[in-house]
Amino acid sequence: MSRKKGKLYVITGPSGTGKGSICKEILKDIENEFSVSMTTREAREGEIHGKDYFFVTEEEFLDNIEKGNFLEHARVFGNLYGTPKDMVIKQLERGRNVILDIDVQGALQVKKAMPEAIMIFLLPPSLGELRKRLEGRGTDKADVIEKRLSGALSEIKLIGEYDYYVINDDIDTAISSVKSIMTAEECRVPDKVRDIIKKYEQEEKGE
Ligand code: ADP
Ligand code: 5GP
């Protein structure tokens, strides 16, 4: 019997909105696989190779592009980021759900390659609050923060491509909204028709 495939959740939104924070919390409670991306960005203090990202040189990254190893890849604020294809496909085949925390350009590439992906756009409560979060995170220099902020509105304008939006104002409310989206997706009838009918048929037959 073929196993049911897992679902692919794409979580995107402007840098500093809270994608990383929300994904981390969700992964504590819900058994999902997080896709670890490859990047040419320098590791921030405390980031672990293989857990937060696979940190590679530009040459290694380009070699992976050439070998067709990415599901999607994009240059984001000067650095290259990409989703390794193998891991995602393997986990989905095993029936595991996979979460991608990626930028808007990459998210749209995933939607094209895998139209069944569930696309969630995370919004900041305001552009002013987004600035505060990027400054408060303290991980990026002022010019990098400006670069990240200047792209935010044009990213938000692409929201029409997404299935769901969540405003990350109060983080607990936002986490619970993302979890609710995942629960709703698990209850979609088209994916479960056979299983549902079988369960009641078996009961009636006394199996
Ligand atoms: P992203 O992954 O989208 O770039 P992060 O998860 O790194 O964003 O969050 C950016 C900063 O904002 C972090 O310092 C984080 O602790 C903070 N943050 C995230 N969500 C909220 C929230 N709802 N309210 C206040 N601060 C938040
Ligand atoms: P950061 O440098 O803050 O970790 O990430 C910068 C941006 O790159 C964020 O919006 C993040 O979601 C995005 N990103 C992280 N991994 C990937 C990836 O594999 N592909 C793409 N396209 N974007 C990514």
pLDDT by residue (tens digit) across 167-195?
Answer: 999 999 999 999 999 999 999 988 889 99
Q: Give the residue whose CA is nearest to atom 18 of ligand 1.
A: 18
Going residue by residue through the chain (207 aa), what tens digit of pLDDT does each one get? 456 889 999 999 999 999 999 999 999 877 789 999 999 999 998 999 999 999 999 999 999 999 999 999 999 989 999 999 999 999 999 999 999 999 999 999 999 999 999 999 999 999 999 999 999 998 889 999 999 999 999 999 999 999 999 999 999 999 999 999 999 999 998 888 999 999 999 999 998
Pairwise CA distance, residues 39 & 56, whole Å: 6
| Sheet strands side by side (includes 33-34) | 33-34, 98-101, 8-12, 118-123, 164-167
Among 101, 111, 140, which is best to mutate for testing ligand 2, by the most ligand atoms less than 8 A from CB?
Answer: 101
Residue whose tokens read 């960005």: 41
Estimate to the nearest angstrom the gap between the alpha carbon of 128 and the chain centroid.
Answer: 24
Pairwise CA distance, residues 84 & 36, whole Å: 8
Pairwise CA distance, residues 85 & 100, whole Å: 11
* Closest ligand by atom to 140 CA: 2
pLDDT attached to residue 43: 95
- 19 CB under 6 A from ligand 2? yes
* Closest ligand by atom to 101 CA: 2
- 111 CB under 6 A from ligand 1? no
pLDDT attached to residue 3: 64
Q: Give the residue whose CA is nearest to atom 8 of ligand 2.
A: 103
- Asked if 110 and 83 touch (Cβ cutoff 8 Å), the reply is yes
Q: What's the one-letter identity of residue 68?
A: G
- 125 CB under 6 A from ligand 1? no
pTM over 0.75: yes
Bridge-based pairing state of the strands 79-84 and 70-76: antiparallel
User: In the chain, what are the helix, strand and coil shares in percent, each to the nearest 5?
Assistant: 50, 20, 30
Tokens of 78: 């000067």
Q: Give the residue whose CA is nearest to atom 14 of ligand 1.
A: 137
* Closest ligand by atom to 172 CA: 1
